[in-house]
Chains A and B, each alone.
Chain A
Amino acid sequence: MAKIVVDNISYVYPLRDGVGLKAIKNLSLEIGEGEYVALTGMNGSGKSTLAKLLNGLFKPISGRITVDGISTSDENSVFEVRKKVGMVFQNPDNQTVATLIEDDVAFGPENLGLPREELISRVDYALDAVGMSEFRGREASKLSGGQKQRVAIAGVLAMRPEVLILDEATSMLDPEGRAEVLDVVGKLNKQGITVINITHNMEEAALARRVIALRKGRLAIDGTPAQVFSSSLLEACGLSLPPAAALARLLEETCDFAAGNIIDEATLAEEICRQLR
């Protein structure tokens, strides 16, 4: 059953008087409950705009988006949508509101006017889910980038969202921080949270079960990572193959080697070993 239904939406950014920039054009897609989707495409393809449309920060100028059947365009119910769809943004330094980590995580649910016990249990759950419980009394500003992003995710989790959108949430992190965040995201997805990860990193996109690529505000490719990486539209979308896939294909051209659906280096090494025999 579809969790999110995007039905023929368009979105225009107003630029100057009467002039606008079309960022999303007649886009339709469905995302099912519990899916792990990577949303990709070149800079300016409409990824972030779509993310902001999905939790009602923006409203489509035509068409309709529903989350669990609730429309994002309806002022009376948009808050319900925002409770269901949580977002984590790019810059780890722009997303903390409180000095102490536990206060920061409590900020969202506090605003729901929850009783204290419920608040505490939510903060406990959220910090535990991202592996940051031992840091709860520390200052947010003293954390590494990866830790800050995990706290940002915890802040969203404390709202008990059903959908987690990461808008290039790993792009400012070092490799270690990136791995920490992706590990947490994978675990949350296994617990049933629908994940939409916006990324330019093809190895990261390959972690998802479904990859959606936008091009100039339209849906260009939609499929499994293997399908997407073999699409003839990949380059037109400003995307590249993960390095293991690119190398496998080069080998295929010159050697007796079948590239198949190789995406990561471990599979590449395995296949080289097997096919050399």
Chain B
Amino acid sequence: MQAIEIKNLSFVYSARTPNEKRALDDINLSVEEGSLVALVGATGSGKSTLIMHLNGLIKPQDKKRSSIVVHDMSASDKKALKKLRFEVGMVFQYPEYQLFADTVAKDIAFGPKNMKLSAEEVDARVRRAMQVVGLDYDEFAGRSPFDLSGGEKRRVAIAGVIAMQPKILVLDEPVAGLDPAGRKELLALIKTLQREISPTVVLVSHNMDDVARLADRVVALKDGRIVADGAPRDVFADRQLVKDIGLDVPFAARVVDNLEEKGISLDKHIITDEELYNALTDLFASAGKLKKPAPEEEFFDDEFFDDEEFFDDDSEEDEEEDIIKDDPEQECTVPEGACLEAEENDGSEKTKNRRKDMTSDKGPARARGEGGGNV
């Protein structure tokens, strides 16, 4: 079944003025329910204009020619507009800038409240949304969203959207500006959201590695037209096309190209680090240069979904140390050496734990990862 059906969609900004710009040019696109589609393209290629059509933030200009149907609702139908917006959850870039309420729970409740749900249902949805994004209700519900870290704020903002339990989730550059740990955590969360809440996901991204790892299908835009559409593996394999569109290829594909220049030929369809690693170990094996049997296939998956480190981080403890009262200077006199030493121990300990996780087969880290840290 198609979750989204777009036919003959064009859009022109500032029509009939000197600044006229055609943002979308006859787009035809169907998105199957249950798929994760990555929408890629350079800045100005029309990605944002396209996604804003999906929940009626922008209406089709030419109502006769164009049609957008989302789960049997027409995006041009004014009466269905409200329902459409509950059906299509939009997480814009830097969604944490849109937080506004004085507590996390109130902020997340804003959407479900607008759906005119009962107080119990709103509360249940807030709790569920927080659970799915990995925010502990008792710890975070009453806190001000503005006192949270960048990664936590973003999860609150996403929780506010998924609390409406949209069937389609649109994420515009969801990991921009996050640190590597936060990125990894949020990327793992996208799969969880798809499984638990929104079966269909549209992901806008500039990061081709994320696209290669997450998407079932990649749709590339250039100057408002769809210029590539297919499985990431096939789209990225056509290097000339990717270059013409002005896109990058994933890291693994770049290594393949670098090796090709040096006379080592690998499959152009390699797009993930795991595939590259496997191909390279095969290469070393056939040269008789293997140390020991290669680790199990899910090696990289484990690393990718191993979000244990984020959830049992010691930040809680430290935050208490960071919040100080009245005399700010007082606690700033901890001897630097002592603390660095403590951190060093902490660091090596973590490294050790991680090694263990990576080599153990499907250990607890994996189980937790798959449940978004809540299993």
Q: Does B196 contact A (CB under 8 A)?
A: no
Give residues 236-274 of B contacting A (CB, 8 Å): 246-248, 251, 254-255, 258-259, 261-264, 273
Q: Enumerate chain A residues within 8 angstroms of B344, measured Cβ to Cβ.
A: 232-233
Measured in the bound complex, the distance between the Cα atoms of B294 and A255 in whole Å is 9
Measured in the bound complex, the distance between the Cα atoms of B182 and A240 in whole Å is 11
Q: Does A272 contact B (CB under 8 A)?
A: yes
Of chain B, the residue at the smallest CB distance from A10 is B332
Q: Does B139 contact A (CB under 8 A)?
A: no
**Are A43 and B291 in contact, with the CB atoms below 8 A?**
no
Of chain A, the residue at the smallest CB distance from B177 is A171
Instruction: List 6 A-B pairs, minimum CB-CB distance, nearest first.
Output: A269-B258, A43-B150, A236-B347, A255-B284, A240-B180, A256-B289
**Are B281 and A255 in contact, with the CB atoms below 8 A?**
yes
Q: Does B209 contact A (CB under 8 A)?
A: yes
**Are A236 and B284 in contact, with the CB atoms below 8 A?**
no
**Are B251 and A243 in contact, with the CB atoms below 8 A?**
yes
Of chain A, the residue at the smallest CB distance from B19 is A142
A contact set with B: CB distance below 8 Å? 10, 12, 15, 18-22, 25-26, 28, 41-45, 61-62, 90, 144-146, 168, 171-177, 200, 202, 215-220, 232-236, 238-240, 243-244, 246-247, 250-251, 253-257, 265-266, 268-270, 272-273, 275-276
**Are A236 and B346 in contact, with the CB atoms below 8 A?**
yes
**Are B181 and A238 in contact, with the CB atoms below 8 A?**
yes
Q: Does B179 contact A (CB under 8 A)?
A: yes
**Are B184 and A254 in contact, with the CB atoms below 8 A?**
no
**Are B262 and A22 in contact, with the CB atoms below 8 A?**
no
**Are B329 and A62 in contact, with the CB atoms below 8 A?**
yes
Measured in the bound complex, the distance between the Cα atoms of B326 and A270 in whole Å is 58
B contact set with A: CB distance below 8 Å? 42-44, 93, 147, 149-151, 176-184, 206, 209, 246-248, 251, 254-255, 258-259, 261-264, 273, 276-277, 280-281, 283-285, 287, 289-295, 299, 309, 318, 322-326, 328-329, 331-334, 336, 339-340, 343-344, 346-348, 350-351, 354
Q: Enumerate chain A residues within 8 angstroms of B287, measured Cβ to Cβ.
A: 276
Measured in the bound complex, the distance between the Cα atoms of B344 and A20 in whole Å is 26
**Are A244 and B251 in contact, with the CB atoms below 8 A?**
yes
> What is the minimal beta-carbon distance from B74 to any residue of chain A, in angstroms?
32
Measured in the bound complex, the distance between the Cα atoms of B183 and A26 in whole Å is 29
Q: Enumerate chain B residues within 8 angstroms of A270, measured Cβ to Cβ.
A: 258, 262
**Are B182 and A268 in contact, with the CB atoms below 8 A?**
no
A200 in contact with B180 given A15-B147, A247-B276, A256-B290 (CB within 8 Å): yes
- 18 A-B interface contacts by CB (under 8 A): A10-B329, A10-B332, A19-B323, A25-B334, A25-B339, A235-B354, A236-B343, A236-B346, A243-B209, A247-B277, A251-B284, A254-B284, A255-B280, A255-B290, A269-B255, A276-B264, A276-B283, A276-B284
A272 in contact with B179 given A22-B328, A243-B251, A265-B254 (CB within 8 Å): no
Please report whether the interface of chain A is mostly helix, strand, loop or mixed according to DSSP. mixed
Q: A43-B149, A200-B178 given. 8 additional CB < 8 A pairs?
A: A12-B332, A18-B326, A43-B151, A43-B182, A44-B150, A251-B281, A253-B291, A254-B284
**Are A269 and B289 in contact, with the CB atoms below 8 A?**
no
Q: Enumerate chain A residues within 8 angstroms of B149, measured Cβ to Cβ.
A: 43-44
**Are A255 and B351 in contact, with the CB atoms below 8 A?**
no
**Are B290 and A216 in contact, with the CB atoms below 8 A?**
no
**Are B44 and A144 in contact, with the CB atoms below 8 A?**
yes
Measured in the bound complex, the distance between the Cα atoms of B177 and A215 in whole Å is 17
> What is the minimal beta-carbon distance from A73 to any residue of chain B, in angstroms?
15
**Are B280 and A251 in contact, with the CB atoms below 8 A?**
yes
**Are B332 and A61 in contact, with the CB atoms below 8 A?**
yes
Q: Enumerate chain A residues within 8 angstroms of B289, measured Cβ to Cβ.
A: 255-257, 275-276
Q: Enumerate chain B residues within 8 angstroms of A250, measured Cβ to Cβ.
A: 277, 299
Measured in the bound complex, the distance between the Cα atoms of B46 and A47 in whole Å is 34
A19 in contact with B336 given A144-B44, A239-B179, A247-B255 (CB within 8 Å): no
**Are A42 and B340 in contact, with the CB atoms below 8 A?**
no
A176 in contact with B246 given A251-B284, A265-B255 (CB within 8 Å): yes
